[in-house]
Amino acid sequence: MLMAFLPAALTFVALVALFVLIAGPIVLALFIVGAVLRLVFFILFLPFRLLAGLLGLGLGAAGLLIRGLLLFAGVAFLLVLGLVPLLPFILIGAGLYLVFRGARRPTTVSPS
């Protein structure tokens, strides 16, 4: 029974081996062509990738600068809001300074 199946199996294995021997170099050539095309497109689009990277880096730096300025402005605004309750004392002190400055005798510049 097994001997009747042997010629068919041997024929099938020989056909598969023949297919591999024929298709192997073609598949290898297609892999090489794919690798070369990938390298060509990589080199072709490299300037655009570099430009995009530099543009992204510049916009990122500008974004950090704007974020820092907004953070500084927010902190300054909160500090000013914190000083609002002290505004009457600041105005009284400024008024007293103006009164005492006006009450002083004017100084004269002596000619030398």
| 83 CB-near residues (< 8 Å, 6+ apart) | 90
Could you tell me if residue 111 is inside a domain?
no
Q: What is the pLDDT along the chain (112 residues), one digit of tens a residue?
A: 667 788 888 899 999 999 889 999 999 999 999 999 999 999 999 999 999 999 999 999 999 999 999 999 999 999 989 888 999 999 999 999 999 988 887 777 777 6
Could you tell me if residue 108 is inside a domain?
no
Could you tell me if residue 61 is inside a domain?
yes
Could you tell me if residue 88 is inside a domain?
yes
Structural domain range at position 92 = 9-100
Could you tell me if residue 37 is inside a domain?
yes
Could you tell me if residue 112 is inside a domain?
no
pTM of the model: 0.47
Say how many domains are in the chain: 1
Could you tell me if residue 107 is inside a domain?
no
Could you tell me if residue 34 is inside a domain?
yes
Nearest C-alpha neighbor of 69 from the set 109, 37, 61, 102 = 61
